Amino acid sequence: MNGAQALIRTLVDAGVDTCFMNPGTSEMHFVAALDDVPEMHSVLALFEGVATGAADGYARMAGSPAASLLHLGPGLGNGLANLHNARRGRVPLVNIVGDHATYHAQYDAPLQSDISAIASSLEGWVHSCTDPDAVARDAAAAVAAAQGPPGQVATLILPADVCWLDSSGPATPIAPATAPDASENAIAEAAAALSGQGAAALMVGGAACMQDAVELAGAVCANSGANLLAETFPARLQRGAGRVEPQRLGYLAEFAQAQLAGLQHLILVESSRPVSFFAYPDKASDLVPEGCQVHVLTAPGENSVAALSQLLERLGGDAEPVRQAAARPEVPSGSLDAESMANVVGALLPEGAIVADEGNTTGLFVSGATAGAPPHDWLTLPGGAIGFGMPVATGAAVASPGRKVLNLESDGSAMYTFQSLWTQVREGLDVTTVILNNSSYAVLEMELARVGASAGGEKAHEMLDLTGPDLDFVSLARGLGVEQASRATTAEEFAEQLAAGLATEGPALIEAVVPPLL
Amino acid sequence: MNGAQALIRTLVDAGVDTCFMNPGTSEMHFVAALDDVPEMHSVLALFEGVATGAADGYARMAGSPAASLLHLGPGLGNGLANLHNARRGRVPLVNIVGDHATYHAQYDAPLQSDISAIASSLEGWVHSCTDPDAVARDAAAAVAAAQGPPGQVATLILPADVCWLDSSGPATPIAPATAPDASENAIAEAAAALSGQGAAALMVGGAACMQDAVELAGAVCANSGANLLAETFPARLQRGAGRVEPQRLGYLAEFAQAQLAGLQHLILVESSRPVSFFAYPDKASDLVPEGCQVHVLTAPGENSVAALSQLLERLGGDAEPVRQAAARPEVPSGSLDAESMANVVGALLPEGAIVADEGNTTGLFVSGATAGAPPHDWLTLPGGAIGFGMPVATGAAVASPGRKVLNLESDGSAMYTFQSLWTQVREGLDVTTVILNNSSYAVLEMELARVGASAGGEKAHEMLDLTGPDLDFVSLARGLGVEQASRATTAEEFAEQLAAGLATEGPALIEAVVPPLL
C-alpha cells in the first residue's frame, strides 16, 4: 500500500469520503489511488476555486469536512479565496495540496513555490508531510484539526514521493473533540447583564446559528426582553416558518449601528464583536455603541447549547421564543426588479431548500420575502471573498441528495467561479441557479459613493460597469452543459422559469434581468 | 492631491500607464483617482487571474511593466497563479493589492488576511505602505524594483486610508538600473569551454531569448561548433524566417536528456540549469548528463548582449549564425488533428503575429510548422501554472496595437481564465483564440502513465476526462460577447475560419475539435 492509498483510506475511515479536486502531475498517484478506495467520492472541478468552495458548501450541510485536492502553490492560489471564506465561517475543510517530490524541491523547477507561506494566511493547521510512513497519521490529524471545534481549514502539503512510496498503511482516525463548556463566570456575567435594567441583545454566530442553539437563545430573549441578533454573514442559518430567526446584523455599518443603538449589553454567542466590513473616512470601524458592554457567553467552538441552557435556567421563566409565522408573498406580476424577484422566490421556495445567497444588492429583499417560507437553510458569505455562491451551492448539493438547492447569484460575482455549472451537470446536482443580472458591480457603485471617493468620473464608472459587452448567461450556461437555461425579463417569466427549474431534477439556470437597485 | 492620485501620477511618470484591475471597496479611491490622471489606461477584468496574466503579457511585449490592481488577500489569491508565471519568466510587474485602512486591521473584519504572507511566495519586492506621504515614493520604488534587471513582481500593499488621505504629491521616477556585466572570468571560462574538444552547447533564457542576444549566441555557435539551445518555456522568443532560432529544451525529461546527451560543456546564458519539470519515480531530476560541466556566462539580469559580443570576439571567426529559411507548410485538407491544425497555423500565421501558446499536447507540432513563417513572437509558460494563455494574449494585444495576436489554447487550460474574452471584446483587442478541444486533460493522461502511478482505473480516468458534459466553447465565447465564434471539425473548416479570424480586427474564437494526440 503506497502513501496515497493509505492517505485516502484513512480519510474515508475518518469520515471524509468526498474530495473535490483539480489535480495535476504531482497528484497523479493520489488520483490513481482513487480506484483502490472505492468509498471515496471524487468530484472534478474545472477550476480550483470551485473545488474549495464546493468543499466549503459540502461541510456546511454535512456538518463534517470534505477534502479538496489542489496542484502546488498556483493551485492553492486559485483555491485561496474560497478557503478564506471557509476559514472565516469556521467551516471544517481538509485541504490537500500536492507538491513536488521531497528531493525535487532543491532543483527549483518551474512550479516550485512556497506553499506553506500561502497556506499560512489561512491561519489554520498547516503541515507538510515528508514521510510515507507518517502520511496516514498526518491525514488523521488533519481531519481532527479541521473538525475543531470550531472548524478550520487544515492544509496538508503532500509531496509526490510521499504518495508513491510504500507506506505503513492506514492510521486510526482520531475521535472528534467535544466542544468545551463556557466558564461559569461567562454564564453568570451574561445572566447578570440580562437581569439588569439596560437594553440587551444576544448575537449568535457560527455553530450557534443552528436551530438548536437559536431556539434556546430565542427563549433567553423571550424571558429577558433582549433582542436576538445574528452575525451578518453566517455560514449556515436554519430558518423559515415555525423556526426562531435571529435578526442578522446589516452589512452596511449605518444599518448595523441602527440595530445596535441604545444597547447597554451585547452578549456574544460564538460571534465576533461587530465591526464595519470596510473602513470609511470619518466613520467608525467598531460598531458597538458607546456605553455598551460586550460580554462573551461562548467563544467560537464552545458549547453554546449547554451555555444557553444554563443561562435560561438561571433566568427562569417559561416564555416561548418568538417563532416565524408561515407566510408567503403572492406571486407578483409586471416588471422584474429586486422586489418582485424576491417575492417570486418567497412564493415558490420549497420546503427543505438550501439557498446559497450571493445576491448582493439585488438580493436585498429576498431574506425578508422568504422568512415565512417553509423551513430551509440559508448559506451566506462569512469571508466576503466573492465567487462563493456557485461552488458552495455545488458542494451543498453533493452533501444533500433529495434536497433542492437554490443559488441566488449576482452577475459580477458569478464570473469568478462560473465553471461550477459544469460540475453540477457532471454530478447531476439538483441546483437551480438564478443569475441576478443588473449589468454592473452595483455594490461597488454604492461603495464608491459611500467611501466619499468622489462623485466618480467616467473612467471610474467604467470600472464598475458590466456592459460593453453584455454578459449572456444563458449562452454561458449552455457552454458548460446546462440544457435548461433561460432568461426572464418580467415577473411572470421569472415565476414560470423558477417553478420549472425547481420542478426539474438536475441543474437549471435562469438569468433574471433586473435594473440596478440603487 | 490624495494618496491615490499621487500614486497613479507617479506610476504614469515612471512609464507605467496601463493597469489591469478587478477592484473592490478598499480600492475605490484608486478607481476614483483614475479620472484625475487621464494618461492611465485602466482595463477591467472579470477575474483577477485575467488581470495579472494580462499585466504579464503586456510587459512581455512592451518591455516595461504594467500594473495590476487586486482586492485584498482573496484577490491576490485569485491572481497568484499568473503572478507565479510572471515571476518565473522574470517579467516586470507592479502588483498593487488594496488593503483595509491601516487602523481597520485591528478589528479583524471578514476580509482581513495576511497579504504579505501570500505575496512573499512571489519572492520579489513586497512592501506595505502605511503613510500617504510615502506612497508616491513607494510607487517609484516598486516600478524600479519590477524593472530589475531581471524583471520581477513588485507587490505594493495599499491600505485604503493611504489612498484617501492627503499626500505630499507625486514622486520623481527612479531611473531604471542597467544590466550588470558578466565577469571577465565567466567569459574566459565559456571561451575556454568552447575552444576545447568536447561537445558544447549554449542555452539562452530570459532576456537572452530576444533576437539581439540570440543572433550573437548563434554566431558564437557557428564559430565554435556548439549547439544553440533555449530554456523550455521562454517568456518571449522572437522567431521566424530570417531569424536565428535556438532549439527549445523539451518539456519531457526524456526528450531534454536526448538533446543534452553527449555534452561536455553547457553554457548558461540567463537560463537555469536544466531540471525535470516534475519528479518521476526512478527518473533523474537533474538533467545535466554525467561528466558535463555547466558554466554560467550570464546570470539572469546580466548583460548577455555584451557578454556574448566579448565571447564572440575572443573566439574569433566570421561564420554567420544559422538563420531560419522562409518556408510554410501547405494548407492541409481532410481530418483535423494536432498535425493538420499545426500546418494550417504554419500556412497562415501573419508577419508580426504574437502567439500566446498554451497548446499543450495538441500544440506539439505548431512550433515546427511555424518555424519558417514570417517573423513573429512566441510567448510560452515559464511558470507552469496553467490558465496563462488567454490573459497573456489579452495583455500582449493591449501592448501591441496593429499586431495580430493568436492564442493557441487547450480546452482544459482555457477554463481557468476564460473570462479574458470579455476584456478582449470590451477593449476591441485583435486576438484570435483557437481552442484545441480534445475533451480531456490529455497532458495528465500522459503524466498518469509516466509517473507509473498505475494503468489507471475508471475513477482515475474520470478525473482527467472533460466530457459529460462536453464543453461548448462557441456558446461560452458568445456568452462573453465574442460574436465571431465558430467550430471547426475538418482541416478545411479550420483553415477557412482561421483566415477569417486573422482577417478580422477584434476578437474571434475558433473551437478546433481534435482527437487526443496520445
Query: Which regions of chain B are under pLDDT 50?
Result: none
Q: From residue A484, how far is each of A103, A423, A471, B500 by CA, in Å?
A: 50, 15, 18, 32
| CB hemisphere CA count around B427 (13 angstroms) | 28
Whether residues A78 and B74 touch (CB distance < 8 A) is answered with no
Alpha-carbon gap, residue A19 to A21, rounded angstroms: 6
Residue to test with chain A: of B70, B113, B273, B443, most A Cβ within 10 A: B113
Chain A environment of B443 (Cβ under 8 Å): 25
A77 in B contact zone (CB under 8 Å): yes
pLDDT at B454 (0 to 100)? 62
Distance from CA of B404 to the nearest CA of A (A): 21
Q: Residue A319: which residues within 8 A CB-CB, separation 6 or more?
A: A219, A222, A223
Whether residues A475 and B473 touch (CB distance < 8 A) is answered with no
Q: How many CB pairs under 8 A join A and B?
A: 333
Is cis: bond before B150, omega within 30 of 0?
Answer: yes
B506 in A contact zone (CB under 8 Å): no
pLDDT at A171 (0 to 100)? 98
Biggest CA–CA distance in chain A, Å, is 70
Whether residues B279 and A161 touch (CB distance < 8 A) is answered with yes
Secondary-structure breakdown of chain A: helix, strand, coil percentages, each rounded to the nearest 5:
40, 20, 40
pTM above threshold 0.95: yes
DSSP B465: B
Whether residues B117 and A120 touch (CB distance < 8 A) is answered with yes
Phi-psi region of B515 (alpha: psi -120 to 50; beta: other; left: phi over 0): beta
Rg (CA), chain A: 23
Alpha-carbon gap, residue A97 to B318, rounded angstroms: 54
Residue B70 contacts residue B52 (beta carbons within 8 Å): yes
Handedness of CA A516, B4, B5, B10 (dihedral sign): negative
Residue to test with chain B: of A22, A85, A113, A249, most B Cβ within 10 A: A113
Whether residues B281 and A457 touch (CB distance < 8 A) is answered with no
Chain A environment of B24 (Cβ under 8 Å): 444, 447
pLDDT at B30 (0 to 100)? 96
A412 in B contact zone (CB under 8 Å): yes
Alpha-carbon gap, residue A40 to A11, rounded angstroms: 8
**Residue whose entry in the numeric block shows the C-alpha cell 512550433:** B367
Order of strands across the sheet with B18-21?
B41-44, B18-21, B67-71, B93-99, B153-159, B125-128
**What percentage of residues in chain B have a pLDDT greater than 90?**
94
Q: Residue B313: which residues within 8 A CB-CB, separation 6 or more?
A: none
Alpha-carbon gap, residue B393 to B406, rounded angstroms: 7
Alpha-carbon gap, residue A267 to A216, rounded angstroms: 14
Alpha-carbon gap, residue A446 to B25, rounded angstroms: 9
pLDDT at A359 (0 to 100)? 95
**Residue whose entry in the numeric block shows the C-alpha cell 522567431:** B239
Q: Pick from A34, A101, A447: which is nearest to B25 by CB?
A: A447
pLDDT tens digits, B4-13: 999 999 999 9
Whether residues A479 and B474 touch (CB distance < 8 A) is answered with yes
pLDDT tens digits, B454-480: 667 899 989 999 988 999 999 999 999
Domains along the sequence of chain B with CATH: 3-164 (3.40.50.970), 184-315 (3.40.50.1220), 338-513 (3.40.50.970)
Query: Which regions of chain A are under pLDDT 50?
Result: none
What cell does B419 get?
473570462
Distance from CA of B365 to the nearest CA of A (A): 22
Q: How far apart are the first and last CA of chain A?
A: 60
Whether residues A123 and B103 touch (CB distance < 8 A) is answered with no
Q: Pick from A109, A451, A458: which is nearest to B29 by CB?
A: A451
Chain B environment of A460 (Cβ under 8 Å): 31-32, 34-35
Alpha-carbon gap, residue B122 to A113, rounded angstroms: 8
Q: Pick from B46, B107, B233: which is nearest to A285 by CB?
A: B107
Q: Kindly tell me the burial class for residue A282, based on how many C-beta atoms sit within 10 Å of its own C-beta (0-12, 13-18, 19 or more).
A: exposed
Distance from CA of B20 to the nearest CA of A (A): 10
pLDDT tens digits, B106-125: 999 999 999 999 999 999 99
Q: Residue A25: which residues within 8 A CB-CB, separation 6 or more?
A: A71, A160, B277, B278, B443, B444, B447, B451
CB proximity under 8 Å: A 122-181 to B: 122-123, 160-161, 164
B21 in A contact zone (CB under 8 Å): yes
B103 in A contact zone (CB under 8 Å): yes
Q: Pick from B101, B285, B451: which is nearest to A104 by CB?
A: B285
Residue A436 contacts residue A408 (beta carbons within 8 Å): yes
Looking at this protein, which amino acid is placed at residue B169?
G
DSSP B127: E
Residue of B nearest to A443 (CA): B25
Whether residues B78 and A49 touch (CB distance < 8 A) is answered with yes
pLDDT at A454 (0 to 100)? 62
**Residue whose entry in the numeric block shows the C-alpha cell 464608491:** A448
Whether residues B25 and A444 touch (CB distance < 8 A) is answered with yes
Alpha-carbon gap, residue A453 to B155, rounded angstroms: 23
A462 in B contact zone (CB under 8 Å): yes
Q: From residue B160, how far is each of B132, B133, B329, B361 by CA, in Å?
A: 10, 14, 56, 45
B283 in A contact zone (CB under 8 Å): no
Instruction: Give the pairing of strands A237-239 and A376-379.
Output: antiparallel
List the beta bridge partners of residue A24.
Answer: none
pLDDT at A457 (0 to 100)? 87
Q: Would you list the DSSP string of A3-60? A: HHHHHHHHHHHTT--EEEE---GGGHHHHHHGGG-TT-EEEE-SSHHHHHHHHHHHHH
Chain B environment of A160 (Cβ under 8 Å): 278-279, 451
Residue A267 contacts residue A194 (beta carbons within 8 Å): yes
pLDDT tens digits, B429-463: 999 999 999 998 888 888 888 877 666 789 998 99
Distance from CA of A14 to the nearest CA of B (A): 21
**Residue whose entry in the numeric block shows the C-alpha cell 443559488:** A407
Helix (H) / strand (E) element for A394: namely helix A389-399
Whether residues A278 and B382 touch (CB distance < 8 A) is answered with no
pLDDT at B134 (0 to 100)? 98
Residue to test with chain B: of A25, A283, A472, most B Cβ within 10 A: A25
Residue A241 neighbours by CB distance under 10 Å: 18
